[in-house]
Structures are given as C-alpha cells and as structure tokens.
C-alpha cells in the first residue's frame, strides 16, 4: 500500500510546499479540473468503495452510498458549481474617513493542509475536508484511520490516480502516526475524539498552526410529552442504530418523562423488529462494531440499568444487538463517555426544565435532538442549551445538509465545515485597503494640532 515512513514525511512536506509556491493551486480553473477528475474517479470506483466498507465493518451498500459516496458527490457538485464565486475578490464597505479609497477582501489558501480522518465514516469524513481544502487552493496530506484499512486502500488508489503526491498524498501505515504531528503544517483538520484532539491542539501550538477539531460528545435526544411518539420512535431508532451506532452525531442518550416512556419503548421495539427483524444479527442492514477493542469497550457498558430490548452479543462476529437500557443513573459508566455503538441509555426526567438542567450540567454536545410539537419548547431548548447543531423532530439530518454549517462547540470541537463553510475553513480572508494618490489629507500626519483633534473627534465617535 506504499506506506510513507516518518523519514520520508519531511521530504514530502517540503515537496508540497514547493508545489504550492508555484502558484498552480491558486488557479481556480486548475482546481476545478482536478475536482472534476476526482468526481469521475469516485463514480468509477463506487463498487470498490462499497466493497471496502463492507470489508471494514459489514456496512450495507445502501448505508454506504447514502452516508459515504452520495454525500461526498453532493459536496463535490456544490463545490464545482460555486467555487468560482467563492474565490472572487470581495468588495467591503469603506468608512468615510478612508474615502476615496476602497476596501477589498482577498480569499487565499493557507498552504500545506494536514487532514486526519476517523474510521467510522472513513470515506466521507476524509474526502469532505479534502474537497474543502482543495477548493480553497491548498495542497493536502491525508492520514486516514488505520482501523478501516480497506477503505484507506481504495481512497489511496482514487487519490493517487488523480493527483501527484506533491498536490495530494494519502499517508498510510502505522509508523507515521507517532511522528505526524511533530512537523509544521499551515492548517490541521482533525476528526476524532477529545483526547487526541487535545494532543493535536497541543502539537499545533508549537508552530501556532490553526486547527479545526471535529470531536464528539454525548448528544442528547429529548422526547417531550406532546411528541408524535410513532414518528419519534422511528427516527430515533434510525439515527441511533445507523452504522451500528458508530456515528459522532448519533443520539447518545435519551431524556424522557415517566408519562410517555413505556409507550415510546413499545414503539421503538416495534420499529427495531420492523427494520432489522426478530434477530438483527441476521439482518443485512445492520453493521458491525469496527474492532475487537471497541466491542469489548461497548459490551462493558451493558451491565448497569435494565435492558428494555437487545443486549445480545457475539464477540467473534463483533456483534452487539441494538440495545435500549432504562433506569440508567447519571454516574453509570454508560453515561461517562461517548458510546459510539448500538447502545441507547435512557434517563427519566420529571420535566423539560429538568432536561435542560441535565444537559447544561454536562459538556456541550456535538448534536441535540428534540421531539415536540410545542413552539415554546423548541425555543426553550434552542435558546437555553448549547450544542454544535442538531434537529427538531428528527435525527442526523442536519449533517448531510450542505447549507448548514457543521461543527462542535466546547468539548465537542471547534470550527465548522460543509458547503461554503468548508471553503471558508481552509481560506484566509485577507483584508486590503486601496488608497489613491491624487489626494492626501494632511490631517493624520504630525505635527498634530488642536483643530485637527476636533475634526478627528467629529468622525471617530
């Protein structure tokens, strides 16, 4: 797989800096041509991508296309349509004190960008930021997760067929990850957990490198008493157990009152049987836990609270059934970290005020989901809680909406991307003031006078 060693990385970074210095990536026409070639290569390798995702964790072709291939193609299509507009020099307002000059904003790329991507959506969460970085005119070094090797291999084949390594290079192999952050880049985009995110930020600080951190967190799902229970059950089951729960914006726990809890459980159990059958292990649509290490971690979370449905496990197949656990306590292990698996703990609250208080007593989540018909409750949760994003009366659907910025806040991350926000993330907006030579007001120059001060005060107030 042509893995890059630590010794080779320094030369590769220099090679990319030299290529960036030629100015080729600054040409919008050239960017578009490369992105079109990437679009074609992805379409031509659709079967290989689907096969790789199945190999890595038995992901169905439908889930792979909708959450990996299709979303990336939409991102590419939007970028190709808008890149010329996004790249234009922009006019900015000029204050009267600066007249008759003019103000302009010049979008410019950072340079060499490092993208570190995760394993849970190994194609999407690698390619989306790469597309953003390329659209802005950067070169890219992509380090995909080692836990999804089949997908990494296919991405490497696709990218190497389109780009020379001085433009875009996939960094494969285990050796490289231990020294990857010791080098200087112009921008780092990291998707993963908070612990590694802290390390990325610490290492980036050495060179004052700007970073985007797309992390995770325990995203709450609140079901109010007035919610459409049947629809809520269906959308929560879909959002939680899609990709075997290995989604950074999956509902991580549910807050519900005693009044509707049992009714909601019955609807969710009915929905689970409807979509995965009586035995989800036999369903072709239910994925598997990515590795034995993660399987062991998730299985340990099943031993507190009361299992409402699920709980079946098979380590040799890395299978954990879609599981709902009731009577969970806030200090139980399942509530201490992001689950990242097919387990949904339930906390019973007495009111929506208590739900807000519970959410605000924990680190800010990457997503928040609220099911209610009440406009008052919608406003309450949107204004009294903080999260990276989320949905009202749905789950996950804000993520593939390229017109919405996506990113975390607090412990769930910093920075945003998708659509125009991806271009913005990898672009430095350079503000430039253009003055004229045919007039030069002497007021600003020394020696300063009292009369000059009076005139200045008329404008600067």
Same domain, 192 and 149: yes
Decide if 457 is inside a domain.
Answer: no
Decide if 448 is inside a domain.
Answer: no
Classify the phi-psi angles of 306: left when phi > 0, otherwise alpha if psi is within -120 to 50, otherwise beta: beta
DSSP state string for 307-365: EEE---EEGGGTEE--EEEES--TTSGGGTS---SSEEEEEEESSHHHHHHHHHTSPPP
- Which of 213, 151, 216, 256 is closest to 367 using CA atoms? 216
Same domain, 136 and 106: yes
In this model, does residue 125 exceed pLDDT 70?
yes
In this model, does residue 3 exceed pLDDT 80?
no
Same domain, 201 and 262: no
Domain span holding position 164:
6-215+413-429
Which residues touch 265 (CB under 8 Å, ≥6 apart)?
308, 309, 324, 326
Decide if 437 is inside a domain.
Answer: no
Q: What are phi and psi of 32, to 5 degrees?
A: -60, -40
Residue 292 CB neighbours (<10 A): 11
Same domain, 145 and 250: no
pLDDT of 289: 97
- Which of 30, 122, 42 is closest to 77 using CA atoms? 42
Instruction: Identify the three-state secondary structure at position 44.
Output: helix
Decide if 99 is inside a domain.
Answer: yes
What number is the average pLDDT over the span 49-53?
A: 98
Question: CA distances (Å), 54 to each of 49, 64, 249, 276, 282, in order?
Answer: 9, 8, 21, 17, 15
Same domain, 235 and 202: no
Say how far apart CA 200 and CA 198 lie, in whole Å: 5
**CA 373 to centroid of chain Cα atoms:** 29
Decide if 146 is inside a domain.
Answer: yes
- pTM recorded for the entire structure: 0.95
In this model, does residue 380 exceed pLDDT 80?
yes
Same domain, 276 and 297: yes
- Which of 60, 61, 1, 55 is closest to 290 using CA atoms? 55
Please check whether residue 240 is in contact with residue 251, taking contact to mean a CB–CB distance below 8 angstroms.
yes
- Percent residues over pLDDT 90 in the chain: 93
- pLDDT tens, residue by residue, 350-368: 999 999 999 999 999 999 9
- Percent residues over pLDDT 70 in the chain: 99
- pLDDT tens, residue by residue, 429-441: 999 999 999 999 8
Q: Give 289's DSSP letter.
A: -
Average pLDDT, whole number, for the chain?
96
Same domain, 422 and 380: no
pLDDT of 320: 98
- pLDDT tens, residue by residue, 264-311: 999 999 999 999 999 999 999 999 999 999 999 999 999 999 999 999
H-state helical runs in 45-116: 46-57, 61-64, 70-86
Confidence of residue 251 (pLDDT cuts 50, 70, 90): very high
Containing H/E element for 458?
helix 450-459
What CATH number should be reported for the domain holding residue 142? 3.40.605.10
Please check whether residue 147 is in contact with residue 291, taking contact to mean a CB–CB distance below 8 angstroms.
yes
Decide if 150 is inside a domain.
Answer: yes
Which residues touch 306 (CB under 8 Å, ≥6 apart)?
325, 326, 327
Same domain, 65 and 171: yes
Q: Which of 248, 271, 338, 391 is catalytic?
A: 248
pLDDT of 176: 76
Decide if 59 is inside a domain.
Answer: yes
Instruction: Identify the three-state secondary structure at position 247.
Output: coil
Same domain, 342 and 403: yes
Q: Give 225's DSSP letter.
A: T
What number is the average pLDDT over the span 359-386?
A: 98
In this model, does residue 461 exceed pLDDT 90?
no
Instruction: Identify the three-state secondary structure at position 2.
Output: coil
Active site residue 214: yes
Residue 293 CB neighbours (<10 A): 10
What CATH number should be reported for the domain holding residue 347? 3.40.309.10
Q: Which of 63, 68, 78, 214 is catalytic?
A: 214
pLDDT of 368: 98
Q: Which of these ranges, 2-6, 188-192, 330-334, has the smallest mean pLDDT?
A: 2-6
In this model, does residue 1 exceed pLDDT 50?
no
- pLDDT tens, residue by residue, 194-240: 999 999 999 999 999 999 999 999 999 999 999 999 999 999 999 99
Same domain, 276 and 361: yes
Structural domain total, the chain: 2
Instruction: Identify the three-state secondary structure at position 144.
Output: coil
Decide if 443 is inside a domain.
Answer: no
Active site residue 221: no
Q: What are phi and psi of 308, to 5 degrees?
A: -85, -40
pLDDT of 2: 62
Same domain, 173 and 43: yes
- pLDDT tens, residue by residue, 63-113: 999 999 999 999 999 999 999 999 999 999 999 889 999 999 999 999 999
Same domain, 375 and 420: no
């Amino acid at each position: 797989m042509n893995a890059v060693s630590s010794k080779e990385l320094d030369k590769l970074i220099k090679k990319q800096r030299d290529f960036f210095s030629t100015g080729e990536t600054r040409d919008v026409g050239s960017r578009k041509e490369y992105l079109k070639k990437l679009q074609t290569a992805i379409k031509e390798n659709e079967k290989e991508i689907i096969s790789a995702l199945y190999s890595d964790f038995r992901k169905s072709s439908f889930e792979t296309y909708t959450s990996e291939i299709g979303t990336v193609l939409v991102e590419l299509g939007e970028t190709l349509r808008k890149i010329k507009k996004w790249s234009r020099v922009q006019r900015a307002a000029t204050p009267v004190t600066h007249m008759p000059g003019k103000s302009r904003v010049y979008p410019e790329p950072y340079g060499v960008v490092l993208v570190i991507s995760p394993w849970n959506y190994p194609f999407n969460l690698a390619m989306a930021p790469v597309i953003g970085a390329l659209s802005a005119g950067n070169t890219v070094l992509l380090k995909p997760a080692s836990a999804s090797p089949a997908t990494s291999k296919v991405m490497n084949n696709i990218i190497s067929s389109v780009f020379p390594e001085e433009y875009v290079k996939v960094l494969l192999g285990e050796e490289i990850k231990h020294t990857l952050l010791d080098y200087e880049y112009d921008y780092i985009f990291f998707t993963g957990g908070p612990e590694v995110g802290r390390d990325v930020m610490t290492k980036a600080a050495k060179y004052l490198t700007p970073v985007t951190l797309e992390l995770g967190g325990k995203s709450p799902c609140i079901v109010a008493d007035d919610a459409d229970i049947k629809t809520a059950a269906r959308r929560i089951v879909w959002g939680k157990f899609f990709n075997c729960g290995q989604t950074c914006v999956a509902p991580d726990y549910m807050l519900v009152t005693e009044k509707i809890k049992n009714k909601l459980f019955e609807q969710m159990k009915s929905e689970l049987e409807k979509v995965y059958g009586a035995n989800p292990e036999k369903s072709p649509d239910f994925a598997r836990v990515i590795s034995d290490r993660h399987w062991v971690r998730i299985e340990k979370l099943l031993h507190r609270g009361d299992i409402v449905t699920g709980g079946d496990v098979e380590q040799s197949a890395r299978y954990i059934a879609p599981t709902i656990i009731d009577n969970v306590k806030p200090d139980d292990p399942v509530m201490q970290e992001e689950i990242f698996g097919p387990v949904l703990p339930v906390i019973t609250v007495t009111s929506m005020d208590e739900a807000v208080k519970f959410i605000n007593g924990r680190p800010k989540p990457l997503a928040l989901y609220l099911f209610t018909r009440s406009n008052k409750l919608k406003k309450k949760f949107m204004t009294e809680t903080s999260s990276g994003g989320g949905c009202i009366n749905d789950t996950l659907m804000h993520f593939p909406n390229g017109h919405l910025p996506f990113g975390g806040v607090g412990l769930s991350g910093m920075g945003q991307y998708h659509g125009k926000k991806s271009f913005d993330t990898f672009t430095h907006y350079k503000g430039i003031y253009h003055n004229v030579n045919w007039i030069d007001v002497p007021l600003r120059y020394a020696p300063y006078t009292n009369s000059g001060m009076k005139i200045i005060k008329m404008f600067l107030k």
